């Protein structure tokens, strides 16, 4: 096992308040770590800090063996991708939402167009490539957002409650597709969720954050017990 992302004595303070203090947290290469905890525990703040979108007040984040510093944070950020609860699509076509993100990262336009189509197809929305992104349904928009993240070929994928705004059938369909996709690509990911039933679909390990501290960390079964494995998302017309 090779550590991909390490937080060491990592702290974030805002307005004179400590938002989190993480003594040690490691995400191994190829593993999906779920991060759970109540509202306000600091999950999003920790995710943003690990994704180099927030600068910590103390401690260090190591990414692929290298400590993040002011001089290399932007470069590291560009090797990662984040999907939020809101799809955050630009007011242009679905395809351009992806190609713009790729062009910013220096991908040539032909290659960007090809990658965009490949990932839209993989997420089952290839036929929506030319549609204005703002016209998509919630589920389609989140598929587009995931396609954009995957098209970036990130070394770490961050998911901050990406399914929270979706209905159960849409959620279940996406989780069923995403699980094998992450595994097949050996993707390293941090998955923040409120809904524990989502965890076994994607994650191997879980960290529980409470008032800014990791109070528990272990395999999905160690943290939740065997029952979690049989609690699948229930869709009345499928069962």
Ligand X SMILES: Nc1ncnc2c1ncn2[C@@H]1O[C@H](COP(=O)(O)OP(=O)(O)OP(=O)(O)O)[C@@H](O)[C@H]1O
Contacts with ligand X by CB under 6 A lie at: 14-15, 19, 37, 39-45
Which lies closer to ligand X via its Cβ, residue 42 or residue 154?
42
Shortest spacing between CB 64 and ligand X, in angstroms? 25
What one-character DSSP code corresponds to residue 234? P
Closest by alpha carbon to 233, among 161, 176, 158?
176
What one-character DSSP code corresponds to residue 93? B
Give the H or E element holding residue 126.
none
Shortest spacing between CB 92 and ligand X, in angstroms? 28
Report the interface residues with Mg ion, using CB under 5 A.
43-44
Using CA atoms, how far apart are residues 14 and 234, in angstroms rounded to an integer?
A: 40
**188 is in the binding site of which of Mg ion, ligand X, none (Cβ under 5 to 8 A by kind)?**
none
Q: What is the number of the residue whose Cβ is closest to Mg ion?
A: 44
Backbone angles phi, psi at 60, to 5 degrees: -145, 145
Shortest spacing between CB 57 and ligand X, in angstroms? 12
Which lies closer to ligand X via its Cβ, residue 11 or residue 131?
11
- In this structure, the number of other CB atoms found within 10 A of the CB of residue 82 comes to 23
**41 is in the binding site of which of ligand X, Mg ion, none (Cβ under 5 to 8 A by kind)?**
ligand X
**186 is in the binding site of which of Mg ion, ligand X, none (Cβ under 5 to 8 A by kind)?**
none
Shortest spacing between CB 46 and Mg ion, in angstroms? 9
Using CA atoms, how far apart are residues 209 and 46, in angstroms rounded to an integer?
A: 10
């Amino acid at each position: 096992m090779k550590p991909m992302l390490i937080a060491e004595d990592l702290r974030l303070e805002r307005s004179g308040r400590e938002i989190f203090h993480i003594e040690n947290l490691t995400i191994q290469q190829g593993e999906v770590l779920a991060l759970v905890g109540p509202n306000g525990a600091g999950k999003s703040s920790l995710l943003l800090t690990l994704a180099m979108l927030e600068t910590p007040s103390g401690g260090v984040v190591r990414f692929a063996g290298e400590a993040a510093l002011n001089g290399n944070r932007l470069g590291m950020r560009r090797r990662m991708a984040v999907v939020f609860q809101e799809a955050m699509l630009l007011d242009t076509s679905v395809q351009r939402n992806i190609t713009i993100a790729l062009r910013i990262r220096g991908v040539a336009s032909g290659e960007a167009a090809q990658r965009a189509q490949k990932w839209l197809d993989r997420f089952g929305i290839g036929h929506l490539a030319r549609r204005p992104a703002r016209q998509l349904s919630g589920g389609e928009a989140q598929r587009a957002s995931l396609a954009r993240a995957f098209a970036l070929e990130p070394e770490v994928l961050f998911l901050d409650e990406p399914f929270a705004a979706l209905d159960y059938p849409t959620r279940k369909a996406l989780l069923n597709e995403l699980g094998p996709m992450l595994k097949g690509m050996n993707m390293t990911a941090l998955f923040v969720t409120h809904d524990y039933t989502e965890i076994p679909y994607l994650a191997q390990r879980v960290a529980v954050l409470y008032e800014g501290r990791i109070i528990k960390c272990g395999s999905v079964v160690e943290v939740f017990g065997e029952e979690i494995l049989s609690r699948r998302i229930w869709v009345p017309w499928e069962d």
